[in-house]
């Protein structure tokens, strides 16, 4: 095997327990294994409470594992690392900073060269379609625009990996579909490894190379599905026969899961 | 007359005209009922006394001293709140005592502080500092500990140092709380300085007020009271100005329009 075959993110038999208030342990994730390869777009789909966000937080190093290992590029995760960009469900912009200064936060924390950081931030704002809004404040922007700014911020320090936790979950359906296509464009322009958590089957199929289907309580990977739909994908991809077939298959998992 | 002038008139004419009316009544009505000018001096006499005080150089000096007292007290409080909230152990150890001390009427400490520090400006600074300390401290502690968890997650994901977390997220986030404390503290600090001067001082407005009282110079006392009210208003306006300037983002749109 060549080195290229080694997964960039290697999740092996990871478990996560939370201690509830009554002192009993609550198992959020049990024996989860998943491999994400470089430049891959992987979506994690599952109903709420299946531990998918917890897994993302563990990859980001914000949460510890209760068992098993997560390694990035062969190095086990012990805490947050700077080659990861994070996008939350809400934009988490700082309301006292302009959009440009929000995007510059990672540069400030990582003490990047200010002149080139400014240039890069402007380029990123252009990439996410926010040029002209650099000096606006977050509360002057729509929900979709704020989430674009959050994506630009996550890309600021040019991380290898982009972790997105239901990034469009709080947007209306129309904005959400537009943002999905935007994200595809941005991803193709920046070639990152992306792990995106969602509970939308359509979103997962449209975006990803691979879909990991999670089953709930405790969560584990029930199925790993390849999405062999050619790129670049567009809005028309949703009516592709493969797309429709896979969507039906994915839906059947959740229906079966609900009745079980 | 355009609508703008009309709006200004509508807003400011009633209080100004009302004030003038009250002053006129105060000036000319008491003599008709043979009220002693010594007990209720007319506004013209108060203005004469006011000029006298200004002439003795007490106005500017006291303003600067009280401002320094309030700012010093508040700065100490913010620093202390930072220390307290940095560590759960320190917070748990100190909080009960801080709450207990807050219940103590701080002016009761004034005689002790005058004995310890002397009758100079230093003791007034200390008293005003102690009085303005608690509203700011308690508010800052609340502000520092009510940061959205995701904002901290964002900083953690970038491996930000504690100082960076504080400077970029926690401190700006707590400014609305700190200013709420400052609004209270700034007025309290004048009380502190005044009480300190009542107990022992060789100068200052409080000292002057006592002297005038001993001499039954009622119009002089009215003049000092006017100055104290003006001092309070000016300090409050200053805090208010800074508040709007730095916390524009936590306000509804009406304040934002001022900065655009």
Q: Cβ B150–A90 below 8 Å, yes or no?
A: yes
Are residues A66 and A181 both part of a single domain?
A: yes
Are residues A101 and A134 both part of a single domain?
A: yes
Identify the band that residue A256 occupies on the pLDDT scale cut at 50, 70 and 90.
low
Domain boundary among A103, A129, A159: A159
**Could you tell me which chain A residue has the CA closest to the CA of B164?**
A109
Domain boundary among A159, A188, A212: A159
Mean pLDDT of B200-218: 82
Cis peptide leading into residue B55 (ω within 30°)? no
What is the pLDDT, as a whole number, of residue B67? Answer: 67
Q: Cβ B158–A82 below 8 Å, yes or no?
A: yes
Q: pLDDT > 70: what percent of chain B?
A: 90
Domain boundary among A142, A159, A176: A159
Are residues A130 and A236 both part of a single domain?
A: no
Are residues A77 and A150 both part of a single domain?
A: no
Beta bridge partners, A163, equal: A86, A195
* Residue B255 predicted with pLDDT over 70: no
Are residues A63 and A171 both part of a single domain?
A: yes
Q: Cβ B249–A139 below 8 Å, yes or no?
A: yes
ipTM: 0.85
Q: What six digits make up the tokens of A47? A: 């109903």
Contacts of B250 in chain A (CB under 8 A): 95-96
What is the distance between the alpha carbons of residues B255 and B257, in angstroms, rounded to a whole number?
Answer: 5
Q: Cβ B157–A94 below 8 Å, yes or no?
A: no
Partner residue opposite A109 with nearest CB, options B150, B153, B160:
B160
pLDDT tens-digit profile of A160-216? Answer: 899 999 888 888 888 888 888 888 888 888 788 999 999 888 888 888 888 988 887
Are residues A37 and A154 both part of a single domain?
A: no
Contacts of A103 in chain B (CB under 8 A): none
Chain A CB within 8 Å of residue B242 CB: no
Please report, for the domain that includes residue A27, its CATH number. 3.40.50.300
Q: Cβ B154–A105 below 8 Å, yes or no?
A: yes
What is the pLDDT, as a whole number, of residue A86? Answer: 92
Cis peptide leading into residue A232 (ω within 30°)? yes
Provide the 10 A C-beta neighbour count for residue A112. 17
pLDDT tens-digit profile of B124-170? Answer: 878 887 887 788 888 888 888 888 899 999 999 998 888 899 899 99
Are residues A72 and A179 both part of a single domain?
A: yes
| Of A80-84, A141-145, B62-66, the least confident | B62-66
> Nearest CA to CA, how far is B164 from chain A (Å)?
7
Range of the domain at A119: 90-159
> Nearest CA to CA, how far is A216 from chain B (Å)?
24
Provide the 10 A C-beta neighbour count for residue A139. 13
**Could you tell me which chain B residue has the CA closest to the CA of A80?**
B157
> Considering chain B, what is the average pLDDT of its residues?
82
What is the distance between the alpha carbons of residues A166 and A200, in angstroms, rounded to a whole number?
Answer: 9
The domain B61-251 is classified under which CATH number: 1.10.3720.10, 3.40.50.10540, 3.90.105.10, 2.170.190.11?
A: 1.10.3720.10
Are residues A173 and A257 both part of a single domain?
A: yes
Are residues A75 and A179 both part of a single domain?
A: yes
Contacts of B124 (CB under 8 A, 6+ apart): B65, B69, B192, B193, B196, B197, B201, B204
């Amino acid at each position: 095997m060549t080195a290229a075959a080694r997964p960039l993110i290697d999740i092996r038999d990871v478990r996560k327990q939370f201690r509830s208030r009554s002192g009993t342990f609550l198992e959020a994730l049990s024996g989860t294994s998943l491999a994400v390869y470089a430049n891959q777009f992987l979506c994690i789909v599952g109903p709420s409470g299946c531990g998918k966000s917890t897994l993302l937080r563990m990859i980001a190093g914000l949460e510890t594992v209760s068992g098993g290992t997560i390694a990035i590029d062969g190095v086990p995760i012990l805490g947050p690392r700077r080659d990861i960009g994070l996008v939350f469900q809400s934009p988490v912009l700082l309301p006292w900073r302009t959009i440009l200064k929000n995007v510059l936060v990672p540069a400030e924390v990582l003490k990047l060269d200010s002149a080139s950081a400014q240039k890069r931030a402007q380029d990123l704002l252009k990439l996410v379609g926010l040029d002209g809004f650099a000096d606006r404040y977050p509360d002057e922007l729509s929900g979709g625009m704020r989430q674009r700014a959050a994506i630009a911020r996550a890309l600021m320090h040019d991380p290898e990996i982009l972790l997105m936790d239901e990034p469009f979950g709080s947007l209306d359906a129309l904005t959400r579909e537009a943002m999905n296509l935007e994200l595809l464009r941005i991803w193709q322009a920046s070639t990152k490894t992306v792990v995106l958590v969602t509970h939308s089957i359509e979103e997962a199929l449209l975006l990803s190379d691979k879909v990991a289907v999670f089953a709930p309580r405790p969560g584990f990977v029930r199925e790993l599905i390849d999405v062999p739909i050619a790129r670049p994908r567009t809005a028309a991809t949703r009516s592709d026969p493969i797309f429709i077939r896979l969507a039906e298959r994915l839906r059947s998992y959740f229906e079966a899961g609900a009745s079980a | 007359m355009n609508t703008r002038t009309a709006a200004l008139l509508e807003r400011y004419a009633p209080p100004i005209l009302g004030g003038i009316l009250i002053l006129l009544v105060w000036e000319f009505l008491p003599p008709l009922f043979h009220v002693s000018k010594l007990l209720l001096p007319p506004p013209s006499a108060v203005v004469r006394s006011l000029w006298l005080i200004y002439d003795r150089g007490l106005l500017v000096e006291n303003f600067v001293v009280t401002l320094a007292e309030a700012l010093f007290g508040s700065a100490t409080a913010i620093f202390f709140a930072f220390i307290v909230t940095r560590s759960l152990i320190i917070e748990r150890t100190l909080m009960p005592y801080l709450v207990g001390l807050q219940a103590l009427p701080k002016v009761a400490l004034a005689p002790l502080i005058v004995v310890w520090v002397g009758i100079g400006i230093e003791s007034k600074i200390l008293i005003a500092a102690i009085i303005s300390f608690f509203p700011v401290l308690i508010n800052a502690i609340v502000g520092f500990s009510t940061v959205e968890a995701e904002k901290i997650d964002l900083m953690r994901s970038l491996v930000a140092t504690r100082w960076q977390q504080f400077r970029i997220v926690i401190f700006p986030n707590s400014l609305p709380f700190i200013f709420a404390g400052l609004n209270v503290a700034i007025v309290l600090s004048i009380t502190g300085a005044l009480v300190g001067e009542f107990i022992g001082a060789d100068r200052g407005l409080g000292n002057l007020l006592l002297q005038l009282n001993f001499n039954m110079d009622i119009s002089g006392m009215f003049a000092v009271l006017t100055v104290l009210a003006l001092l309070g208003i000016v300090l409050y306006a200053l805090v208010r100005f800074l508040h709007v300037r730095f916390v524009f983002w936590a306000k509804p749109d009406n304040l934002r329009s001022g900065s655009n």
